[in-house]
Amino acid sequence: MKKVILAILVLATFGAKAQEGYKKFKVDASLGYAIPSGSGAKTGAIFTIEPKYAVLPNVSVGLRLESAIMANSTTYTTNQTSFDLSVKAMNSYVVTADYYLSDKRSFRPFVGGGLGLFRTAGIQINSNNSIDNTSYGNKFGGIIRGGFEAGHFRLGLEYNLVGKTNALAYNGSKVGETKNNYLGIKVGFCISGGKK
């Protein structure tokens, strides 16, 4: 037991020493394109804020808060009635981890991923020229991503893995399923971080 405690102390001390020259906390802010999967998918917009903390020199953990506004229209027909569905927005709250492949401040490529909650909202249903609004609710999902940072500039490519949700008619009956996966292409900047 003493050896385990000693090893943990040595690792913690090494990690702290290695980070002495850098600020551990930063916030990433990004804008970009959202490309939803499925037929009828149209490009939308993404806005992201992600506070992060460097737990090791090359590893940071964070919480990604993202809004993706997309058009993803699909037509379903049931009982000779047509329904056109369009996802207006998806908000997500994802715990993330990034691994940086380089220690150089001028160019730091990274890979990462995360798990969290995705909420679809603002679904519009047109049924025989009538319009109804509903919400698909919450889905658990994940992300995989990669990109690079150069100084305070950040470029990232993320794939969001979200389960399918039921498409509901105005009376609550199921008329089909909608895919929620989407690709995000984002550019942004890092607030704080870097050398002390």
Instruction: Return d(Cα 98, Cα 114) in angstroms, integer.
Output: 9
Q: Is residue 152 part of a domain?
A: yes
Q: Is residue 181 part of a domain?
A: yes
Q: What is the pLDDT of residues 12-46, one digit of tens each?
A: 444 444 444 567 899 999 999 998 886 666 788 99
Q: How far is CA 74 from CA 57, 128, 135, 162, in A?
A: 46, 15, 16, 17
Which residue, among 72, 28, 63, has the nearest Cα to 47 in the 3D structure? 28
DSSP 180-194: --EEEEEEEEEEE-S
Q: Is residue 118 part of a domain?
A: yes
Q: Is residue 11 part of a domain?
A: no
Which residue, among 70, 92, 76, has the nearest Cα to 177 in the 3D structure? 76
Q: Does the structure show a pLDDT above 80 at 137? A: no
Bin 164: left if φ > 0, else alpha if -120 < ψ < 50, else beta.
Answer: beta
The structure tokens 């990232």 sit at 156
Q: What is the pLDDT of residues 67-78, one digit of tens each?
A: 998 876 665 555
Q: Domain containing 132 — which CATH number? A: 2.40.160.20
Q: Name the average pLDDT for the chain.
A: 78
Q: Is residue 38 part of a domain?
A: yes
Q: What is the pLDDT of residues 97-106, one digit of tens each?
A: 999 998 877 8
Q: Is residue 103 part of a domain?
A: yes
Domain range for 83 is 23-192
Question: Residue 93: what residue type?
Answer: Y
Number of domains in the chain: 1
Q: Is residue 65 part of a domain?
A: yes
Name the pairing type of β-strands 130-134 and 165-168: unpaired
Instruction: Return d(Cα 64, Cα 95) in angstroms, integer.
Output: 6
Q: Which residues, including other chains, have CB under 8 Å from residue 92's CB and lie 6 or more apart?
A: 64, 65, 66, 68, 116, 117, 118, 119, 141, 160
Radius of gyration of the chain (CA): 21
Which residue, among 156, 147, 144, has the nearest Cα to 181 in the 3D structure? 144
Rounded to two decimals, what is the model's pTM? Answer: 0.75
